[in-house]
Structure 1
């Protein structure tokens, strides 16, 4: 094999730690998110190594050998305070709510990002209010109004649009349901006065 075709050297704990520091400096992420990013980095090395002639078993062996180091790097980032799933969940839940996501959709998003159930539940209660209390209700209604404005529904329908008939109303309710909003929230959002609806949206986005 020529020198040009020699497989590149695999990452090591030191280079992966540097990559982790760079990643958390650039991106808001979770423990799972960082772990996946570092595994992808090793797999990208594996693709280059395979193209240079390395055996698949050798590449997979390197990955398996580095997994404990990756886990330790993630724990180290937590100890340093560079990773905090609770703070991530709080911040992301507020941002997603302001963008028109229901609590159910926010929950699904954070679960997909690897936030554990207990951490997720506590963060949502602190950021959006405990389920079924007044703060949670106001945040959910505000998010529904943001969605209504995006979709030009209810109080945000175009001035020249006809008054919605039963079919149009059911279609609007279906849009809210697909976004994870309950029927009562959807009905209230659709029935809002336009000026008050706009005020509610502005209040949510500035909170």
Structure 2
């Protein structure tokens, strides 16, 4: 949320220099799991919110590169963690890929995690079906409109339409095989 001019004047205008920007970046990566692109966006936002008091122009790209070089930000590890978390929640490879694009993960950093998500597609789809109580986890057989909604829900979750149909068409208690 951007501060209004009046609130800035009341509190006094914040000034930011290279040392302060680095402190903000380190505090951010210490608190949140992040990617290089998300850290860069954060730094650009902070630069825009404050008055720059440094001698040279701010260079958030160089700061992000230095922090990544030190190992505080690792896009590949971030992608693996995000893919594992989303897979446990029941999301498929397509939805995980969308999350990677939103976080600014490069294709080469996320390809291993996506391959792993594709291998665990059935388990992830079943996890989502369990959470939503559809297909094999439904209390009673679903009628046609409910099955169609279940298929749509699984497809929106990033799963292949064929797999979504197979799970949604399953009878309660009948878990589909690979």
Given the two structures, how large is their TM-score scaled by the length of structure 2? 0.81
Residue deviations 1:151-176 (CA, integer Å, cap 9, x gap): 11012112xx4x22233222221221
Give, in angstroms, the shift of residue 195 of structure 1: 7.8
Q: Matched residue pairs, number?
A: 166
Of 126, 130, 133 in structure 2, the residue corresponding to residue 145 of structure 1 is 126
1:20 paired residue number = 25
Of 109, 112, 120 in structure 1, the residue corresponding to residue 99 of structure 2 is 109
2:173 paired residue number = 194
**How has the CA–CA distance of structure 1 residues 115 and 187 changed in structure 2, closer, same or farther, with 3 Å as cutoff?**
same
**How has the CA–CA distance of structure 1 residues 173 and 17 changed in structure 2, closer, same or farther, with 3 Å as cutoff?**
same
Are 2:145 and 1:167 aligned?
yes
**How has the CA–CA distance of structure 1 residues 196 and 176 changed in structure 2, closer, same or farther, with 3 Å as cutoff?**
closer
1:51 paired residue number = none
Q: Is contact 2:137-2:172 (8 Å) kept? A: no
**How has the CA–CA distance of structure 1 residues 84 and 192 changed in structure 2, closer, same or farther, with 3 Å as cutoff?**
farther
Unaligned runs of 5+ in 1: 47-58, 198-207
Give, in angstroms, the shift of residue 182 of structure 1: 1.3
Give, in angstroms, the shift of residue 65 of structure 1: 2.6
Unaligned runs of 5+ in 2: 1-8
1:78 paired residue number = 68
Separation (CA, whole Å) in 1 of partners of 2:127 and 2:160 = 15
Separation (CA, whole Å) in 2 of partners of 1:6 and 1:141 = 54
Give, in angstroms, the shift of residue 73 of structure 1: 1.0
Give, in angstroms, the shift of residue 37 of structure 1: 1.0
**How has the CA–CA distance of structure 1 residues 6 and 194 changed in structure 2, closer, same or farther, with 3 Å as cutoff?**
closer
Separation (CA, whole Å) in 2 of partners of 1:183 and 1:123 = 21
2:42 paired residue number = 37
2:113 paired residue number = 123
CA RMSD after TM alignment: 2.7
Question: Which entry has the higher C-alpha Rg, 1 or 2?
Answer: 1
> In proportion to residue count, which structure has more helix?
1
